[in-house]
Amino acid sequence: MSVVLAYGLAEAVLELTLYGGFTVLFSTVSYLFATRGLISRKRPTFFIFLALVGLFLAITAHWITSIYVLFLAFIHLGGGLPAEILYFTLSVPPELAQMSLAEVVTVITDSLMVHRLYVVYSFDYRVVIFPICVLIFQVVSGIHIIYDLSRETIFNFYDKSNPWVTSSLVSSLVISGYSTGMISFKVTRMSRSIRTITGSTQAGKPLRRVLAIIVESAVLQTVMTMAILVTFQIGLLAQAILEALQPVVLGISVLLIHLRVGLGWTTEGTTRVAPIGTDITLTLTTTRGGEQESDLERGKITSF
């Protein structure tokens, strides 16, 4: 078996394995959303759930397309040189579909990250203007990539001179870095304010836990995107495997946030686990010149 076909087989097996875990996570999140009444159209979480459903459908379609390409290569074409050409010719419909679905998953994932930032900053649109502009540029880059692939016949995506591929990957990294950094700044500041007011080192611990979970998910997404960018620039075949696994890895990272944070799970103390309500409202009161000033920080944790 040639190296190209071995990579294709490994890609399908790894994606199948990760897709199984992704399906279990999505089923669990959907069940908990339903049992906690978070799918009602009157709740802000309804649109988050729709985004998660769209993410699941796109990743499922990507996985089905991968299995179809594997069938074409090993069964229909019987392996050998024709199968290798199939894997390298990205302008064929199955490959175009895979690339398109991967772009859709990336856009949904980054959009949810921007929304998370919007929620943490109490729905202040000024904070999300920059990442929204980057997201629009990312969509344009993705459309241009698909358009280029539809006109080319072979090796187009692996051409290091293609600026749109790099632009799309860098845009995703910028959104991830900016959103995570801004969320970290906000949550850290709120946590310190709570500790200052209460005088307790344990105060603000739930917020720090929320921050840790968000950062962990962002790191997973960032590492995957950077690995694709580096291997793309070097021109390694491993980039093909990473590109194929990217949608399901991004899906898993998003679902982990909604499973651990979005549904209000947090630790209180050291042994007790309790749910948080839909709205977390922190009122920080200080006195300046005899006058009280109230700083209201509100975040809908379940809409993360």
CATH number at 111 reads 1.20.1070
145-159, 215-229, 278-292 — which one is most confidently predicted on average?
Answer: 215-229
Residue 192 within any structural domain of the chain: yes
Across the range 37-54, mean pLDDT stands at 86
**Quick check: 18 pLDDT over 60?**
yes
Q: Tell me whether residue 283 is in a domain.
A: no
The confidence score (pLDDT) of residue 277 equals 37
Q: What is the pTM assigned to this prediction? A: 0.81
Which pLDDT belongs to residue 110? 95
Instruction: Give the residue numbers spanning the domain of 53.
Output: 3-277+297-303
Tens digit of each residue's pLDDT (9 = 90 or more) over 57-110? 999 999 999 999 999 988 888 888 888 888 877 778 888 899 899 999 999 999
Tell me if 99 sits within 8 A of 20, measured CB to CB: no
pLDDT of res. 241: 86
State which amino acid sits at residue 141. S
Task: Count Cβ neighbours within 10 Å for each residue of 192-231 and write b for 16 or more, e otherwise.
Answer: ebbbeeeeeeebbbbbebbbebbbebbebbbebbebbbeb
- Distance (Å, whole) CA 268 – CA 280: 14
Asked if residue 67 belongs to a domain, the reply is yes
Tally the domains of the chain. 1
The residues pairing with 285 across neighbouring beta strands, listed in sequence order, are 294
Domain annotation covers residue 284: no
Tell me the average pLDDT across 31-49.
83
> Does residue 289 lie in a domain region?
no
- Residue 120 is predicted with a pLDDT of 84
pLDDT grade for 287, boundaries at 50, 70 and 90: very low
Helix (H) or strand (E) holding 297: strand 291-300
285 part of a folded domain: no
Share of the chain above pLDDT 70, in %: 73
| Domain-located, residue 204 | yes
Task: Tell me: pLDDT of 288 over 70.
Answer: no
- Whether 85 is in a domain gets the answer yes
Q: Are strands 291-300 and 279-288 parallel, antiparallel or unpaired?
A: antiparallel
